[in-house]
Structure 1
Amino acid sequence: MSDAANLDVFDRRESEVRGYVRAFPTVFDRASGSTLVDADGREYLDFFAGAGVLNYGHNNPVFTRALIEYLERDGIIHGLDMATSAKRAFIEAFEQYVLAPRGLDHKLQFTGPTGANAVEAALKVARQATGRSNVVAFTNAFHGLSVGALAATGNSTYREAAGMPLGNVTRLPYDGYLGADVDTLDLFEKMLGDPGSGLDLPAAVIVEAVQGEGGINVASVPWLQRLRALTAERGILLILDEIQSGVGRTGSFFAFEAAGIVPDIVTVSKSISGSGLPMSLVLLRPEVDVWKPGAHTGTFRGNNLAFVSARVALETYWADAEFTDAVAAKSALLRAELEAIAAEYPELGFVVRGRGLMYGLACDADRALAGRISKEAFTRGLVIETSGAFDEVLKFLPALTITDDELRRGLAIVRESLAAVRSA
């Protein structure tokens, strides 16, 4: 048995909860840019990017060099929420390259290193700031799998795993859930104004501008703007979950920027460190920052290595428009190719949706097709996952630094894989 095919120890000792290894059954050993290499030396093109963690690619040399230099000078690694030079430099860079250009005046809260922890903190502070407990979330939302975040997550498979009731969340239909001609916020507005609706005035509304795990569902600009207006009128805090859709994934730094709105709270994780090191933060309007010192802690809320690479990412990629212009060009290429694939198979009723380099090819006519394409693509050297309530969406999440040639090569593998599974 080859080294890459030898998964015995994982089968023998790792919990049954493991997931991605089942979809991509090989032992990965090295990675660079948009290429993964397994233990046998076989290369795979990566259209997965760590589920959105690796927006700048694997082992980006800009970050690697900065991290090595920091380690070699004995820079602080673990610092809880103490002040460190690495944290100070990151905050200053975030002010300069993210907050100031967008006219944002949010405070930064460094939570535990997972996106779920950022969501937990956002929900907790929203409830404290308003004195209310109910939260509105949307169909097909994904906000994490710890209990508070899970209550706002839609997928029944994840929810059932909680083993307990998940309360204090009202679920409403996301934009487009009832069809393109229905504005689902009509229901929200009606319920807010009707004392008989059973909807307690929410502390907050939590929403993804582009739903990732839910199937690459894109909220329209008018829908997001109306949601912001409805919440602002009634003193409801608006939380934008930018954990997967942020940090350039949809073209702009934040996905909500397209709507020209200012959320009260923003959750950020996944690609914020740039290097793949764990890091999360919550952006809070100053008046929402009602925390008492130490009211939300975590042993690893001060990942200084992540601060180093996160700062370098901002300085390298967000100082001007060159990076976002390149993403826009690749986005146009990706969308054109996906629309061409959809046109070639009209009988499948493919729907192309997404923004930036966050796209989905959805097939409701054959909900198992996306999974079959993903499996076939892996045998041909492409790592690509699925999403959606029925895993009916082939999910394109390549690194934002991917080359045009790599993007075209991966799309060619998708075409070949689709043809192969259709003829099987």
Structure 2
Amino acid sequence: MNQITPTPDVFENHESQVRSYSRQWPAVFDTAQGSWITDENGKRYLDFFAGAGALNYGHNHPVLKTALVDYIMRDGITHGLDMSTVAKRDFLATFTEKILAPRGLDYKVQFPGPTGTNTVEAALKLARKVTGRSSVINFTNAFHGMTLGALSVTGNSMKRAGAGIPLVHATPMPFDNYFGGATDDFQWMERVLDDSGSGINRPAAVIVETIQGEGGVNVARAEWLQALAELLKRRDILLIVDDVQMGVGRTGQFFSFEEAGIVPDIVTLSKSIGGYGMPMALTLIRPDLDVWGPGEHNGTFRGNNPAFVTSAAAIEHFWSDDTFEKEILAKGERIRAAFTDLAHRFEGVSTRGRGMVHGLVFADGDLAGKVTSMAYDQGLLAETSGPSDEVVKLLPPLTISEEDLDHGLSILRQATETVCS
């Protein structure tokens, strides 16, 4: 194969300094299939990143690709704002029949702009409209997006600083196990909500991730989520679950909150809901909360019809029964076992996660970066997360074969052994 001479000067000279992933993975990528991505020189990389969770079904899945190509070739609507289309009708019917109804969930579906931060903005805006209250409670180490409203409920100081203005109307509370079990879970939160002298305004809503991915794969226990839901219900405060990264099967079940048996008032979805890596987002709303006026919240690209097509195809193919869910949980156990072994072998290493999102946690954050750098050299893409980038975070495609999964885990095992020895 002829070697192509890389031209990084094009990116350096013409693309903004804000780029990040291309700095840690400097290859120029060209094609991808399944769990593999190939650079322009033909080197293959096993993808344990999966578009930051936007590619749960892998790259260019043949069933989804066929549905998309067929739709394009028949001149199906591409851009439709919020007009009624056949593609949207098919998606809504499929999503209701295969996802909502079997789980006993009754939600209206709103299509905001196509990204995660768009659906979070819609959720916050609606919660404030419904309740007439302005403040929102979020949690330590949360991440909800990069626009101003979403940043206000995000914990990361570097990302918050990029706003350039004060981020107001949000109050952080400790996430599950933030104090390492030293205090009762909601002792402070209950006290300030009920104390008229606390200085905390009664919030419109609480927004929470069941597993904080960007925050370091921090897993909320089912009983913690249940207690939170009950606490808010007693005080007439809305519960928003941000399932942008952890939904669509990442934890095993379609929604990450299913294990806890809770029913949020509002749910935000994006990333893999589009099925093919296509931009798409949903805001799921309890029907009585759907008080929007026509056009009161909109967006030019809220009608991405090709994404409706690939999303519906993915739901039909993967979620018509519980086979896929069982496969995800089984693969998750393989990851857990591999990481648990490493945690037992090396001091200062621990692990946490659920389903097919797991983190290998290093007491020294520099070691996590060294592990992912060595993994990249060996043909594996994996990123770090957490306040100090101390966690090697795994988000492999849910469709990955056991053989490829074990191969990637072997690369990480060798990198960890090298770095920690």
Bin of the TM-score, shorter chain as denominator length: over 0.9
Distance, in Å, in 2 between the alignment partners of 1:43 and 1:196 is: 60
CA deviation after TM superposition for structure 1 residue 6, in Å: 2.8
Q: Which residue of 2 aligns with 1:77?
A: 78
Distance, in Å, in 1 between the alignment partners of 2:11 and 2:93 is: 43
Give the alignment of 1:18-167 within 5 angstroms. Answer: 18-167=19-168
1:324 matched to 2:325: yes
CA deviation after TM superposition for structure 1 residue 344, in Å: 1.4
Kept in 2, the 8 Å contact 1:4–1:28? The answer is no
CA deviation after TM superposition for structure 1 residue 368, in Å: 1.0
CA deviation after TM superposition for structure 1 residue 4, in Å: 6.8
1:417 matched to 2:408: no
Deviates more, 1:172-181 or 1:311-320: 172-181
1:234-278 alpha-carbon deviations (Å, 9 max, x no partner): 111000000000000000101111110000000000000110000
Q: Which residue of 2 aligns with 1:285?
A: 286
CA deviation after TM superposition for structure 1 residue 421, in Å: 2.8
1:296-350 alpha-carbon deviations (Å, 9 max, x no partner): 11000000000000000110000001100111110111101110111111x22x2
Q: Which residue of 2 aligns with 1:211?
A: 212
Letter in 2 for 1:362: V
* Ranges of 4+ aligned residues in structure 1 off by more than 2 Å: 1-6, 180-184, 419-423
Distance, in Å, in 2 between the alignment partners of 1:55 and 1:391 is: 23
1:196 matched to 2:197: yes
SS in 1 for 2:31: strand
CA deviation after TM superposition for structure 1 residue 287, in Å: 1.1
Distance, in Å, in 2 between the alignment partners of 1:135 and 1:393 is: 28
SS in 2 for 1:368: helix
SS in 2 for 1:413: helix
**Compared with structure 1, are the counterparts of its residues 156 and 406 closer, same or farther at alpha carbon in structure 2 (3 Å cutoff)?**
same
Q: Which residue of 2 aligns with 1:403?
A: 401
1:24-43 alpha-carbon deviations (Å, 9 max, x no partner): 11100000000010000000
User: Which of 392, 395, 408 is the matching residue for 1:394?
Assistant: 392
CA deviation after TM superposition for structure 1 residue 222, in Å: 1.0
1:363-399 alpha-carbon deviations (Å, 9 max, x no partner): 12x1111111011110000000000000000001100
1:359 matched to 2:358: yes
Letter in 1 for 2:390: E
Give the alignment of 1:7-18 within 5 angstroms. Answer: 7-18=8-19
SS in 1 for 2:389: coil
CA deviation after TM superposition for structure 1 residue 182, in Å: 3.0
CA deviation after TM superposition for structure 1 residue 7, in Å: 1.5
SS in 2 for 1:15: coil
Letter in 1 for 2:409: L
Q: Which residue of 1 aligns with 2:378?
A: 380
Identity of aligned residues (%): 55
Kept in 2, the 8 Å contact 1:4–1:26? The answer is no
Distance, in Å, in 1 between the alignment partners of 2:220 and 2:190 is: 17
CA deviation after TM superposition for structure 1 residue 3, in Å: 3.4
1:107-161 alpha-carbon deviations (Å, 9 max, x no partner): 0000111100000000000000000000000000000000000000000000001
Q: Which residue of 1 aligns with 2:259?
A: 258
Letter in 1 for 2:272: S
Distance, in Å, in 1 between the alignment partners of 2:6 and 2:407 is: 25
Kept in 2, the 8 Å contact 1:4–1:38? The answer is no
**How many pairs are equivalent?**
420
Distance, in Å, in 1 between the alignment partners of 2:5 and 2:67 is: 31
Task: Give the unaligned 5+ runs of structure 2.
Answer: none
Distance, in Å, in 1 between the alignment partners of 2:357 and 2:184 is: 24
SS in 1 for 2:283: strand
1:198-219 alpha-carbon deviations (Å, 9 max, x no partner): 1110000000001110000011
CA RMSD, 1 decimal: 1.1
SS in 1 for 2:365: coil
CA deviation after TM superposition for structure 1 residue 2, in Å: 5.3
**TM-score under structure 1 length normalisation:** 0.98
CA deviation after TM superposition for structure 1 residue 57, in Å: 0.3
Letter in 2 for 1:351: S
Deviates more, 1:188-197 or 1:128-137: 188-197
Task: Give the unaligned 5+ runs of structure 1.
Answer: none
CA deviation after TM superposition for structure 1 residue 181, in Å: 4.5
Distance, in Å, in 1 between the alignment partners of 2:405 and 2:143 is: 27
SS in 2 for 1:127: helix
Letter in 2 for 1:407: L
SS in 2 for 1:255: coil
Letter in 1 for 2:294: P
Distance, in Å, in 2 between the alignment partners of 1:4 and 1:265 is: 50
Kept in 2, the 8 Å contact 1:78–1:300? The answer is yes
Q: Which residue of 2 aligns with 1:245?
A: 246
Distance, in Å, in 1 between the alignment partners of 2:328 and 2:115 is: 26
SS in 2 for 1:171: strand
CA deviation after TM superposition for structure 1 residue 416, in Å: 1.4
Letter in 2 for 1:87: K
